[in-house]
Amino acid sequence: MTQKSLHKRHSELANSNRQLEILSNGIFQNGDLPTFKNKIAESNQFPLKAKKLEILQINVGYMCNQVCEHCHVDAGPDRMEIMTRETMQQCLDVIDKTGAHTLDLTGGAPEMNPNFRWFVEEASKVGIKDFIVRSNLTIIRANKKYYDLPEFFKKHNVHVVSSMPHWTRGKTDKQRGNGVFDKSIKALQDLNAIGYGMPDSNLRLDLVYNPSGAFLPGNQAALEKDFKKALLDDFDIQFHNLFAITNLPISRFLDYLIASENYEDYMYALVEAYNPAAVANVMCTNTLSVSWDGYLYDCDFNQMLELPVNSKVKHISEYNEQLLEGRNIVISQHCYGCTAGAGSSCQGSVA
């Protein structure tokens, strides 16, 4: 398992321009594979346009207690980019006036931001319909100061969405680090104990699956069935939905693809699985992503590639829903990860 972020290792892939160069050169430059732009143009879907904002996703920092092999954020304990309270306040001002029905807090491990609880308390007062926190589960067991997070989430009616790459220890720990599986199981049991994930409970607990290698996820409904059976039989754990997410070829997953000599095969597989019907519902069409320093992106992946929104409005402090609606989405070859098979977004399959 990778112990340090690409940034800490001074890897050339810590540079987003280098990642974009790799994604634009070689098989895409010489015409072996069509660029994403040309591919979506075949079905008259270029330029891809932003529709009405429904989901505001806020990345409160890249710091994390884990250093997962495939992290698209390149997160880890050595990342110090953290959203300040001032930027959080600017986000709160926007949440108050936006028509978005979903607020989605992500990271890193969002709970590690020192102002996380304050932000959740303030944001929950606004009355947003679906308030998601993407928790990696192990943070709940990482330190005593986090043990009460399940209760805190419950108090603010937070919808918990957590990564769980597999129902077996071996596959989970390989992707996310030694000991992650056992801590995740304990955290899920803690969440179940107060009502999260139970069949008739309003306390939503969903899991996110992403493949542990250079292959595409299987059918989401079949995976959910297998996860539910295994976690219930082995650990008496219940949850609501499983989202199957395709690994996008950026950041540490791109590094893994290149190091394992799977990059070209993986890009061929993504292009081969391209589904034009998935394009209309990719998450950038109804989502706006805010970075730790308040800048706006079409999605969390574009944020990591430092591809800002194509709009006069660049920062949350200048937010203007009318100006942002209808903007052209910034795309590159990584977008094939969102349109393969049944499609993939932070909410799982889209088609």
Residue numbers at the binding site for ligand SF4 (CB under 6 A): 64, 66-68, 71, 73, 75-76, 107-109, 136, 163, 176, 282-284, 298-299, 301-302, 329, 331, 334-335, 338
Closer by beta carbon to ligand SF4, 280 or else 313: 280
Q: Which helix (H) or strand (E) holds 287?
A: strand 287-290
Closer by beta carbon to ligand SF4, 87 or else 302: 302
Residue 76: partners with Cβ closer than 8 Å, 6 or more residues away: 4, 5, 8, 62, 63, 64, 66, 67
Q: Is residue 76 within 8 Å of 5, Cβ to Cβ?
A: yes
Token pair recorded at residue 193: 């104990």
Least distance CB 200 / ligand SF4 (angstroms): 29
Closer by beta carbon to ligand SF4, 236 or else 269: 269
Q: What share of the chain is helix, strand, coil (3-state, %, to 5)?
A: 40, 15, 45
DSSP assigned state of 270: H
Least distance CB 96 / ligand SF4 (angstroms): 25
Token pair recorded at residue 145: 């100061």
Closer by beta carbon to ligand SF4, 159 or else 176: 176
Least distance CB 282 / ligand SF4 (angstroms): 4
CA distances from 305 to 7, 72, 309, 338 (A): 13, 10, 12, 15
* Residues pairing with 12 in the sheet: none
Least distance CB 72 / ligand SF4 (angstroms): 7
Residue 333: partners with Cβ closer than 8 Å, 6 or more residues away: 23, 24, 28, 35, 36, 249, 267
Least distance CB 141 / ligand SF4 (angstroms): 13
Least distance CB 176 / ligand SF4 (angstroms): 6
Q: In the sheet that 102-106 helps form, which strands lie side by side, from edge to edge?
A: 242-244, 205-209, 159-163, 130-134, 102-106, 55-59, 287-290, 296-297
